Each structure stands twice: as C-alpha cells, then as structure tokens.
Chain A
Amino acid sequence: MVGGILDGVENRESSPVVAGMVDPAHPPSRRAPLRWAIGGVVPWLLLAAGQAIWISFDRRLLWLHIVIAVVTVLGAAISLAVVPLWRYRVHRWELGPQAVYTRTGWLVQERRIAPISRVQTVDTYRGPLDRLFGLANVTVTTASSAGAVHIAALDVAVADHLVAQLTDIAAIGAEDAT
C-alpha cells in the first residue's frame, strides 16, 4: 500500500542535492522499430504514388520531377532506416514505486516523470499497425494536460501487466490536485 506521495510534508525540509537522473530501464518491444518504419514510410509511399500518376500524365518540367523524386527517396530512406533505430535507442520507460518515468523522441528528446498518486486515467491504444505487430501504447494521464505520460510500442503482454500494476498502485481519482 503506497500512500499519497505529497502527503509526506514532514519530509520536505530535507532538500537533497540531486545531481541528475538515471535513464529508465526498459526499452520498447523489439518489434517497435519495424512498426515505426512502416508507419513512417507509408506517407512517403503515397507521395511516390502521386508522383508516378503525375509523371504518367505530364512529362514537362523534368527537373522538378527529379528534385521531388530525390526528396521522396531521401525522406523514405530516413524514415525507414534512421528514425526507427534512433527512436528505439532513445525510447525507455520504467515504473517505480512512486512514479512513472519515460524517455521519448529522436531529434527532440523528452524525459517525463509523473507521480502515480496523481494519476487520473490509464488508457491503452492499439491502432491497426499496432495490432498487426502485437503492440500496444499506454497513456497515463494526470489532471494536467501538460503532464500525460505516453509509453509507445510495448508488447501487448507487457502493456497489460503495466496497466494492471498502475491501476493497482494508484488510488485513481482520490487526489488529483485539482
């Protein structure tokens, strides 16, 4: 039984100097890069299809076609090979006894921590691609719209276990700081 974290007012006068934070321990599912690669490349494929239709009707402005084709190929290559692996190296999550902590992003990186005692809802989301790869995304919301913690691309079993743990620890709705 974990009590309200912010109830411990008497502990507050001790102000330990924290030098930093270790990164959370768990990576997302091994299938996550594949899912991100496919999700990332689909828009580029649509663009390529549009270009193919365009060039079959209109062959003037050849230089423009070449420029757009090069951009498309580069974009597709980056979203296929670079972004998913980079993302996989960055993304981490961990559930502690008092808080949930994540690291997300690739170019712009975010580390976010939220206290479990202030959790309002725990949502699981599975899109069509996620279902194809047996993945699930978990979103932990608090009363602040700026404080929702997103844990992306987990194995379904891991996600289910996480949700069960979270709802078990958190006395949801008891103290949400509103």
Chain B
Amino acid sequence: MTAQTGWQRLSPRMLLVHPVHELIRELPLLIGGLVLGQTTGNQSWTVAVLALTAVVGVARWVTTSYRIDADPESGQVQLRAGLLHRKVLSVPRNRIRSVQTDARLLHRLLGLAVLRVSTGQEARAEHGFELNAVRVDEVPRLRAILLAESSQPVEPTTAEPAASSTVLARWQPSWLRYAPLSLSGLLTMTAAFGLIYQTGAIGPLQHSRLAESALQAAQRLGIAATVAVVAAVVFVASVLLAVLRSLLTYGNLVLSRQADVLHLRHGTLRLREHTYDMSRLRGGTLRQPLLVRVFGGAGLDAVMTGVHGAGESSVLLPPCPRSTAESVLTGLVGDPNVVTGPLRGHGRRAATRRWTRALGLPVLIGAALAVVTALTGTSVVPLWLWTAWLAITAWCALLAADRIGALGHRVDSNWLVMRAGSWERRRDCLATAGIIGWTVRQSPFQRRAGVATLVAATAAGTKRYPLIDVPEDQAWAVAAQASPWVADSIWAIR
C-alpha cells in the first residue's frame, strides 16, 4: 500500500478553477459592483471586486492541504483548510463508507475531479470531507487507498467500467420521456426567479422597456387571455427545463457492479461517480410518483448506510422503465418476490381511515355550500363553484382509492417490504438484519380504529421506515417475524 503520510497540496490546476468558481459564487457582489460602477461612472469598483475574488481564489488553494495516514485501521484522513478560520477535518479511515467524485464542466476540461468521503455518522454534504480537487488519473489510486478497509481495492475505471464488472443498467434517451412529468422544471424556475430577485436585478427590470411593453400587451389581451398565455409559457418552459436538467444530470448513466462494489457514473457536462460498498447496502426503494407511474416508469433509490437517504445522493436510477428498475433491484436483493411479489393489505379499517382522511374536508365544504344555498337562495353559490367542488371531491376519492390499493407489506426473516402512497408511491425493501429498533405508534384515532403505525428504525437510508395503519394485532407480529430479537424478547406473547 503506497499511502503517503506528509501534508499534500491539491492539484495546482485549481489555481485556474478557484477564481472562476469564486466569481460565480460572488455573482451578486459582482452584479452589485457592476451596477455601482454604472451609476457612479467609475468602473474601478468592478475591477476591485474582480481582483478580490481572484486573490481569494488563489488563497484558497494555498491554504488547503490534506494527508492520509498509512495505517488503514487506526489512521486518519485529514484536511486542513480555511483562509481566515483555519480548520482541520479529520476522518478515521475505518469509518469511511463511500467515496464519490464530482467534476463540473471546468474541472473536466482541466482533468480534475472533486473527491468526497462520507462516513456513517454524518451524511450531510456540507460537513463532509471534500478534496477539491485532485487530478482524475489520481482518483482510482486515492479511492483504492481510502476504501482499502472495505473489500478489495477498485480497479482503475476512469473511462469505461473494466471488463470484469457487469453493467446493470445503462441510460437510454427514451428515459427522458419521464422527465417532463416531474416538478423539477418548475422548481428550477422558482429558484432562478428567487436568485434574480435576491440580486436586486428586479428593480431596474421593473422600469425597463421590456416590462412596459409586456404590460401593454397584457392590457390589450385582457386578464383571462394573459393568465392563459403566462400559464402556457410557464408550462412549456418548465417541461423544457425538466428535460434539460434530467439530460444534464443523468445522461450517460452507467450502473455497474464489480464483485462487492457498486459503481454509478452519470452526467453529461458535470460528471459524477459514486462507489458504494455492497456490504453497506440494506435494500432499495422503488419510487413511483403518480405521473411517472401512469406511464409505466419507476425510479430506484439505494438504502445504504453512510449515504443520505433522500435526494440525489442515494439515487441509483432516475425514472426509467419499471422493468429496468425492478430487474436491477432484484439483482441487488436476490429475491424476485421482494421486488414484485404480492403484498398483504392492511384491511378494512385502514381503508376506512383513507376514505375519511381524503373526503373529510370536501364533504365539510360541500355541506357548508349546501347550507349557504339553502339559507340564502340559489343565486349566491355560482354553478362553477359546485362544478369545481365536484371535480375536487372526485379527485380526492380517486386518490383515496389509489392509496388503499397501494397500502401493504410483506415480511419474512430476511426482508421487510412496505408499499404506500399515491402521489409519491414508494415500495421500500429493507433487509431485516439492518433494523435496529421498532416503534408502534398510535394516535387516539388510530387507537379507536384498532390500527397502529409501525416504524422500523435503521442506520441506512432515511433511517425511519413507517408502515402506516397496520391492524393493531399484526404490528408486533410483523416486527417479530423480521427481528428474532423481538420474537425472543421476554415481552413477546406467543
């Protein structure tokens, strides 16, 4: 093992990257400087801001260094950084759970990659250990050193996965058809608008010629037509953005497996690579948002220790054909019944609760409308309100029916499977060996209905896997079947 012990600098090529990233980070300041320069007629403000960001960027490289202890058992990985606030981050080498790399466009052009190390204790990215950045050809060696404690070192797989590894899934352009069905485009637009608003660019824009001509056009069209046009524009833009975002993030995705190491790379411009140790895998989640499910798609998340359970860091497959997601999960789990097998429903009382929860509010509103109509005559409540009420009630009823159909579980001594939800349906497959706690929770309403929420606690994924409205008498039976330490405990009633 060629582990080095001295403090090392990151790649000197970062001297080119840091100032640019610093500029992007300080964009609001830069825009402020530009505006100030324009209004005062003195462009030295802009120059000053530019020079400052460049100096800060260079200083970042000079002040950052890292070292890796030679001993994989008791050694540490340390990162020393900070311009004004010096800080030293230390990670025990035997606590390293996964290694990821991330290369934005500029990094890729210069042959660099950001290397992130995550441990089981804290999986949040902001406090993570990050080497920004090292040369791409150094990455396989560093990864092998860092993951030396867990299984065998990874082969250098910079370009294509090596021949010994099997490709589990490969991105297809047809996967893009599920992208417009997400809200990510709308969210991106909202975020962009928020950013523009924050930088104060909205002020000058308000009085610009563009805004005035738009206002005039709106006045000519009338309110209804304007709303329709704006809605159409927002819709088209959000669809385009969602597709573009999906293409940029997940394009060229390759998920491969090499013995006990799972390897995921994706991204067209910004390239990201994750290496997961299979021994830390505690299952997977098939995610089927309503719109994706309607078109026969599904996404796959990993349930893994040391990896954040929600968000992009745990995604193994973005929305793709359901059969692909299912076959990959079957390959990881090793039991097709876990992934596609029938589930045990939660019975009549759970169904009743779904109906009352979905229809309670619409029925109340309907009753209120009826009372108002009866008291004051038919003219007060317009017809369109009744139509809207009918549509919303029907929609709620459909959601409730779909939720009832989804609710179910399946348990044996190795796997616990839980399915729930309509708008965000998920099927969580959890290895029972990873479950380290059970909670049976009952609200007063649940006590009256004779059902309970059973929560499986695990160190992996989202940590908390609830199974809602299980019949009371089945809750502990499920827990006992999954965990022998519950069945063998002194409290169990046989």
Using a CB–CB cutoff of 8 Å, the interface residues on chain A facing chain B are 5-6, 8, 11-13, 15-24, 94, 96-99, 101, 107-115, 117-118, 142-147, 149, 176-178
Q: Is the CB of A115 within 8 A of B485?
A: yes
Q: Is the CB of A144 within 8 A of B437?
A: yes
Closest to B442 in A: A109
B439 at interface, CB cutoff 8 A: yes
Cα distance, A117 to B488, chains bound together (Å)? 14
Cα distance, A113 to B437, chains bound together (Å)? 6
Q: Is the CB of A146 within 8 A of B493?
A: no
Q: Is the CB of A177 within 8 A of B458?
A: yes
Closest to B97 in A: A178
Closest to B119 in A: A178
Interface residue from A15, A97, A146 paired with B463 (Cβ < 8 Å): A146
Q: Is the CB of B442 within 8 A of A98?
A: no
Nearest-Cβ distance from residue A100 to partner chain B, whole angstroms: 10
A-B contact pairs, 19 of them (CB 8 A): A6-B484, A16-B480, A18-B477, A20-B493, A21-B492, A22-B491, A96-B491, A101-B491, A110-B439, A111-B439, A112-B439, A114-B438, A115-B485, A142-B436, A142-B437, A144-B437, A147-B437, A149-B437, A178-B305
Nearest-Cβ distance from residue B470 to partner chain A, whole angstroms: 13
Q: Is the CB of A16 within 8 A of B494?
A: yes
Residues of A within 8 A of B412 (CB): 15
Q: With A18-B476, A108-B443, A110-B439 in contact, is A24–B491 under 8 Å at CB?
A: yes
Closest to A116 in B: B485
Q: With A112-B437, A178-B306 in contact, is A18–B459 under 8 Å at CB?
A: no
B278 at interface, CB cutoff 8 A: no
Nearest-Cβ distance from residue B241 to partner chain A, whole angstroms: 34
A-B pairs with beta carbons under 8 A, tally:
147
6 pairs of A and B residues whose beta carbons are closest in the complex: A147-B437, A147-B457, A178-B120, A146-B464, A143-B459, A18-B480
Residues of A within 8 A of B476 (CB): 18-21
Using a CB–CB cutoff of 8 Å, the interface residues on chain B facing chain A are 97, 120-121, 280, 305-306, 412-414, 433-434, 436-444, 447, 455, 457-459, 463-464, 473, 476-477, 479-481, 483-494
Q: With A16-B494, A98-B488 in contact, is A108–B438 under 8 Å at CB?
A: no
Nearest-Cβ distance from residue A69 to partner chain B, whole angstroms: 28
Residues of A within 8 A of B443 (CB): 107-108
Interface residue from A13, A18, A115 paired with B413 (Cβ < 8 Å): A13
Nearest-Cβ distance from residue B461 to partner chain A, whole angstroms: 10
Residues of A within 8 A of B441 (CB): 108-111
Cα distance, A111 to B440, chains bound together (Å)? 5
Cα distance, A149 to B438, chains bound together (Å)? 10
Nearest-Cβ distance from residue A15 to partner chain B, whole angstroms: 6
Interface residue from B121, B434, B489, B493 paired with A98 (Cβ < 8 Å): B489
Q: Is the CB of A99 within 8 A of B486?
A: yes
Residues of A within 8 A of B479 (CB): 18, 113
Closest to A18 in B: B480
Residues of A within 8 A of B455 (CB): 146
Residues of B within 8 A of A15 (CB): 412-413, 481, 487
Q: Is the CB of A145 within 8 A of B444?
A: no
Nearest-Cβ distance from residue B147 to partner chain A, whole angstroms: 15
Interface residue from B444, B487, B489, B490 paired with A107 (Cβ < 8 Å): B444
Interface residue from A97, A113, A177 paired with B438 (Cβ < 8 Å): A113
Cα distance, A24 to B440, chains bound together (Å)? 14
Q: Is the CB of B458 within 8 A of A8?
A: no
Given contacts A12-B413, A107-B444, A112-B437, 15 further A-B contacts (CB under 8 A): A16-B494, A18-B487, A18-B494, A98-B489, A99-B485, A101-B491, A108-B442, A110-B442, A115-B485, A144-B436, A145-B457, A147-B436, A176-B459, A178-B306, A178-B459
Residues of B within 8 A of A142 (CB): 436-437, 457, 459
Nearest-Cβ distance from residue A62 to partner chain B, whole angstroms: 31
Cα distance, A119 to B295, chains bound together (Å)? 45
Q: Is the CB of B484 within 8 A of A5?
A: yes
Q: Is the CB of B477 within 8 A of A17?
A: yes
Q: Is the CB of A96 within 8 A of B457?
A: no
Q: Is the CB of B436 within 8 A of A113?
A: no
Q: With A108-B441, A109-B442, A177-B459 in contact, is A18–B493 under 8 Å at CB?
A: yes
Cα distance, A15 to B492, chains bound together (Å)? 13
Residues of B within 8 A of A114 (CB): 436-438, 457
Cα distance, A118 to B414, chains bound together (Å)? 18
Cα distance, A118 to B459, chains bound together (Å)? 10
Q: Is the CB of B485 within 8 A of A97?
A: no
Cα distance, A99 to B493, chains bound together (Å)? 15
Nearest-Cβ distance from residue A153 to partner chain B, whole angstroms: 20
Residues of A within 8 A of B494 (CB): 16-19
Cα distance, A20 to B483, chains bound together (Å)? 14
Interface residue from A8, A19, A146 paired with B437 (Cβ < 8 Å): A146
Residues of B within 8 A of A23 (CB): 491
Nearest-Cβ distance from residue A98 to partner chain B, whole angstroms: 5
Residues of A within 8 A of B439 (CB): 110-112, 146-147
Residues of A within 8 A of B481 (CB): 15, 18
Q: Is the CB of A6 within 8 A of B485?
A: yes
Residues of B within 8 A of A113 (CB): 437-438, 479, 486, 489, 491
Cα distance, A176 to B457, chains bound together (Å)? 12
Cα distance, A8 to B455, chains bound together (Å)? 23
Nearest-Cβ distance from residue A20 to partner chain B, whole angstroms: 5
Residues of B within 8 A of A8 (CB): 484
Residues of B within 8 A of A96 (CB): 489-491
Q: Is the CB of B491 within 8 A of A94?
A: yes
User: Which of A94, A96, A97, A144 has the largest number of chain B CB atoms within 10 A?
Assistant: A144
Closest to A95 in B: B490
Cα distance, A22 to B490, chains bound together (Å)? 9
Cα distance, A120 to B14, chains bound together (Å)? 40
Cα distance, A147 to B435, chains bound together (Å)? 9
Residues of B within 8 A of A5 (CB): 484-485
Residues of B within 8 A of A24 (CB): 491
Residues of B within 8 A of A110 (CB): 439-442
